[in-house]
A and B are shown apart, each in its own frame.
Chain A
Amino acid sequence: MSGHRSTRILAFTTCLLMFLSFFFGGCGKKEDEPVTPTKEPYKVGAVLSISGPNAPLGTPEQRAIRLFEKEINAKGGINGHPLEVIIEDDESDPAKASTAVTKLITQMNVLAVVGSSGTGTTLAMSPIVEREQVPLVSCAAGAQITNPINKWVFRTPPTDTMALQKVLEYLKNTVKVTKVAVLHDANAFGTGGADALQAQAPNYGIQVIARESYGSTDTDMTGQLTKIKQTAAQALVVWGTNPGPAVVAQNMKQLGITIPYVGSHGIANKKFIELAGSAADGVVFPAGRLLIPSSIPKNSAWRKAVDRFAAAYKKEYQLEIDTFAAHGYDAIAMVAEAIKKAGPDRAKIRDEIEKLKGFVGIDGVYNYSPTNHDGLTADDLIMIKIVNGKWTEEKS
């Protein structure tokens, strides 16, 4: 019996150690103290998906927001008030996002909220910010966020609809096809994209003759692809985020399917090339211009902003910028700009965001109005082709 007990104690200690090791695993990374505040800080909340499936989006957004906070406070804050960003993690879960935003608004009294990273989490927050009358600037691209327009909700990234327009223009004008097949992830991003594609394609004289989907964690899409192979599709549009589209690229190569592969902005990252390997060559996808800064007119304010941000981001984190970092940076910069004009008043901050015109961000130049809460247009995007594992601008 006592032997039994000692094993139990041993087991308990092990569990305790496992637990403790996790708590102290990340020790020793203390942030630099911000510049000493002179006036009361302006508090802004951010709800981001720092963990969960959307973590690859939320993590760079968090970095960019922290970078902006540091930069603006080094310059003396907003009208002398330091900016304090309170970041909450929603774990990519809509229920947690609504808890987090409620807490930020009712308990922390933030002036505005940035986030969330995903469409689902943003949609969960919308009714709350509307009820509490707090401006929200989302970093998510789903069309439903601003359609219909919620008076209190804005967004920074180019929408999925814009990316789709770009893809359709490319298919019509450059590839010159009339029949396409679509293969999409069964998640919100993929389904939303495929729905919009089917709805808009006829406007470009394009017919969607096959539509298939796959689960986000599927290993094999040959079943769907052989079905598509038998149709008369002249191009394949793949709408999803990693790793699905990489599997599709590999399976297409395996099956010897040679029709053009047009992806979504969900694969606008180096990860896709890493996963798909040589199968990535020839894949074309829409993305923000910031990924190939040379596509932005030289000496324009936008180009300068991108170059400066890329340098600062690299210096701070030893990382290249990506589109998500840009979404986060633009969102917080916009809120700071509005606070600067409006002062600490939620309703006035909202009005100022809506009045922003020609605001130079990293994703593009933003213009908002009461009927447009998107800010950007399809022209802020380019098509990128992967050639020998490198991105090149595909001019149309």
Chain B
Amino acid sequence: MVLIIVTLALKKSTGLQWILSGLTVGSIYALMAMGFSVIFSSTRVINFAQGEFSMLGGMLMYTFSNRAGIPALYSFILSVLIVTLIGAGFERLVIHPLKKPSVITIILITIGLSIFFRAAAKWIWGTDTLAIAPFSGDKPFKLLGATLVPQSLWIFGFTLLTVVLMFIFFNRTILGKGMRAAAENPEAATLVGVSPPATSLVAWTIAAALGASAGIIIAPIKFVSFDVGVMLGLKGFASAILGGLGYAPGAVVGGLSLGVLETIVAGVFPSGYKDAVAFLVLVIVLLLRPQGILGRQEKLE
């Protein structure tokens, strides 16, 4: 926040441009971070393959809309549906049979999954970078001396919609509340009728659907290739931790701050170090405030 004000005061329109660009990038990270959050808040599992869900979403969208010529809306639904099925299937086949996995086991299994998806995508789609047309043209418009492409608005809108839906789901619906309860105390949750295995399945399904739609929405400005999930996943995980793991608004705050920070760093410092600065801030935040910027103090294990 302070950073944003200082930048605006010092650089005026340039500063605004950085912040707008940063918010676009940040929204992408936020969407990724929410995917991590959904699974973590209900099962205490970190899914390192979250970025790959987005990659698969984008790739499938390209195949359906650009290759097969299916109308965009149907391609979108079809792609999200397939990725969701993959996510749910993986949960049933691999995560579910593990009764009480350790953190290391889960990290390694999901890393294995992400490597597998990546290699499979390379096999199917090759190593080319693929482009998807923007949803509503690419004519930039001006805003107080800064410019923005229409796709950014789609991303902002989708992020906003997602965070609102997530908040409602986890705080207002019985299933959502039950899922959070299941993470904190599985036995007690079972007593009141929420079964942890079902929770896990629902969480993975939502995360996969969210990841896939995010992957499609960002594809017009991010492009898509088999390895696009690595950085997305990494930055998304970083944002989730930065904002507070397992808390949707935290994911958004984490994502937006990381995005803005990166753009400003790239604008002010030698740009090659921008990722290093992002990770350094992350490590420092972790050390000072392991629960993240917005995360509530909770018992860490």
Contact = CB atoms under 8 A, between A and B. Distances in A.
A binds B: yes
Contacts of B266: 212, 214, 221, 223-224
A275 B131 contact: yes
Nearest to A269: B128
A254 B24 CA distance: 14
Given A56-B127, A223-B264, A256 B14 contact: no
B105 interface: no
B142 to A, nearest CB: 9
Contacts of B275: 215
A224 B268 CA distance: 8
Interface stretch (B30-38, B72-80, B221-229): B221-229
B93 interface: yes
Kindly state the interface size class of chain A when it binds its partner: 35 or more
A219 B22 CA distance: 10
A275 B140 contact: no
Interface in A266-324: 271, 274-275, 277-279
Given A51-B122, A256-B147, A219 B127 contact: no
B54 to A, nearest CB: 12
Given A220-B24, A277-B138, A254 B93 contact: no
Interface in A18-58: 18, 22, 25, 51-53, 55-56
A118 to B, nearest CB: 13
Interface in B85-120: 93-94, 96-97, 99, 116, 120
Contact of A14 (B93, B129, B227): B93
A4 B262 CA distance: 46
A226 interface: yes
A222 interface: yes
A14 B90 CA distance: 10
B48 interface: no
A220 B138 contact: no
B93 A217 contact: no
Contact of B140 (A221, A230, A254): A254
Contacts of A159: none
A223 B263 contact: yes
Given A213-B272, A220-B21, A11 B147 contact: no
A271 B18 contact: no
Given A212-B266, A224-B271, A254-B140, 7 more contacts: A10-B93, A213-B272, A219-B25, A243-B225, A254-B149, A255-B17, A274-B131
Pick the 10 closest A-B CB pairs, nearest first. Answer: A223-B266, A223-B267, A222-B21, A55-B127, A254-B140, A243-B129, A223-B263, A7-B97, A219-B222, A213-B272
Interface of B: 14, 17-18, 21-22, 24-25, 28, 93-94, 96-97, 99, 116, 120, 122-123, 126-129, 131, 133, 138, 140, 147-149, 218, 221-223, 225, 227-228, 230-231, 262-267, 270-272, 274-275
Interface of A: 4, 7-8, 10-11, 14, 18, 22, 25, 51-53, 55-56, 59, 186, 212-215, 217, 219-224, 226-227, 229-230, 242-243, 246-247, 250, 253-256, 271, 274-275, 277-279
